[in-house]
């Protein structure tokens, strides 16, 4: 072997049968960005561009078994966490990531997935506080969209100051970086704020791409950040490149389906 091996990226997330979001979006993203993709599946969804028709979770034990199989043998350079479905799965994932020697010092990019843009519930309501308590403190970066940040903050977020304040409170409570994503607005620009417990750090600002085909955008962004961090990029640079990758994927969306269609992941 004379080539540098690719960064090993583990995604812990749900399956999207239509291939637009979840594990499928993550694996496409990781491969396109030159990573080696592994997966621990938390739940299987039946869904398409119109919505989520069904969800079947795996047991917390079996999610843990998948993670342990990957980390104890191949190891990981970064971990992305997406849909977790319920408190039992969160408890097992948190316990393992806190105790497995192979997980020590591995950057964790946590997308606190709660509800699909189409309206389907992807995290049970009573699991939000357990995620905050057990998983947030293990994360390097948490990437809530505005509806998720509003749930975590317990209030509406009507302007940039309120968004930054809520993101800083989340960073203080977890000691993680927080990327508050501004995609879920009607604004002409998509602005994401990166903050830490020390306060506002920087913002990323691009014009909105006018399209309904944005299914799996959050999954793609967090998987791209994880892969780029796995390549050794500093966090803010990884976020900038991951946003570029995600924007290109939105621009290249094939237009499939009646609803919010999948992205076109390209290298």
Catalytic residues: 181, 214, 216-219
Q: Does 123 bind ligand PLP (CB under 6 A)?
A: no
Q: Does 18 bind ligand PLP (CB under 6 A)?
A: no
Residues 49, 260 contacting (CB under 8 angstroms):
yes
- The residue number whose beta carbon is nearest to ligand PLP equals 22
Candidate segments 16-24, 89-97, 185-193, 202-210, binder of ligand PLP by CB under 6 A: 16-24
Q: Does 122 bind ligand PLP (CB under 6 A)?
A: yes
Residue 158: other Cβ atoms inside 10 A: 9
Residues 239, 194 contacting (CB under 8 angstroms):
yes
Contacts of ligand PLP in 19-38 (CB under 6 A):
21-22
Q: Compute the least distance from the CB of residue 216 to ligand PLP, in Å.
A: 5
Count of residues in contact with ligand PLP, rule CB under 6 A: 20
Beta-bridge partners for 24: none
Q: Does 113 bind ligand PLP (CB under 6 A)?
A: yes
Residue 151: alpha-carbon gap to chain centroid: 17
Q: Compute the least distance from the CB of residue 71 to ligand PLP, in Å.
A: 21
Distance CA 249, CA 19 (A): 14
For the CA atoms of 235, 143, 149, 13, the dihedral, rounded to the nearest 10 degrees, stands at -160
Q: What are the backbone angles phi and psi of residue 191, rounded to the nearest 5°?
A: -115, 125
Residue 140: alpha-carbon gap to chain centroid: 12
Distance CA 114, CA 124 (A): 8
Position of tokens 């309206």? 119
Q: Does 182 bind ligand PLP (CB under 6 A)?
A: no
Distance CA 86, CA 79 (A): 19
Candidate segments 33-41, 96-104, 168-176, 209-217, binder of ligand PLP by CB under 6 A: 209-217
Candidate segments 63-71, 110-118, 151-159, 225-233, binder of ligand PLP by CB under 6 A: 110-118
Tokens standing for residue 131: 């995620």
Contacts of ligand PLP in 44-73 (CB under 6 A):
45, 47
Among 7, 10, 11, 14, binds ligand PLP (CB under 6 A): 14
Kindly tell me which of 164 and 253 has the beta carbon lying closer to ligand PLP: 253
Beta-strand pair 199-207/189-196: antiparallel
Q: Does 116 bind ligand PLP (CB under 6 A)?
A: yes
Q: Does 13 bind ligand PLP (CB under 6 A)?
A: yes
Q: Does 8 bind ligand PLP (CB under 6 A)?
A: no
Contacts of ligand PLP in 72-101 (CB under 6 A):
82-83
Classify 186 in phi/psi space as left (phi over 0), alpha (psi -120 to 50) or beta.
Answer: alpha
Position of tokens 């990884």? 238
**Contact positions toward ligand PLP, by CB under 6 A?**
13-14, 16, 21-22, 45, 47, 82-83, 113, 116-118, 122, 215-219, 260
């Amino acid at each position: 072997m004379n080539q540098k091996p690719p960064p090993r990226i583990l995604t812990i997330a749900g399956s999207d049968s239509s291939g637009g979001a979840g594990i499928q979006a993550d694996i496409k993203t990781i491969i396109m960005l030159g990573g080696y993709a592994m997966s621990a599946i938390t739940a299987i969804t039946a869904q398409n561009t119109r919505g989520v028709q069904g969800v079947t979770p795996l047991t917390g034990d079996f999610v843990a078994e998948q993670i342990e199989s990957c980390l104890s043998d191949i190891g990981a350079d970064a971990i992305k966490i997406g849909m977790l479905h319920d408190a039992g799965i969160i408890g097992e994932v948190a316990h393992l990531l806190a105790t497995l020697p192979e997980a020590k010092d591995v950057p964790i990019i946590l997308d606190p997935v709660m509800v699909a843009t189409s309206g389907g519930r992807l995290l049970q309501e009573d699991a939000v506080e357990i995620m905050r308590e057990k998983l947030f403190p293990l994360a390097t970066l948490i990437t809530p969209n505005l509806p998720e940040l509003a749930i975590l903050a317990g209030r509406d977020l009507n302007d940039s100051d309120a968004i930054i304040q809520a993101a800083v409170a989340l960073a203080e409570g977890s000691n993680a970086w927080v990327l508050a994503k501004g995609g879920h607005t009607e604004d002409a620009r998509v602005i994401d704020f990166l903050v830490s417990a020390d306060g506002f750090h920087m913002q990323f600002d691009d014009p909105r791409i006018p399209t309904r085909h944005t299914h799996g955008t959050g999954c793609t962004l967090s998987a791209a950040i994880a892969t780029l961090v796995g390549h050794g990029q500093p966090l803010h640079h990884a976020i900038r490149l991951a946003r570029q990758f995600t924007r290109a994927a939105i621009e290249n969306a094939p237009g499939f389906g009646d609803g919010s269609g999948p992205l076109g992941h390209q290298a």
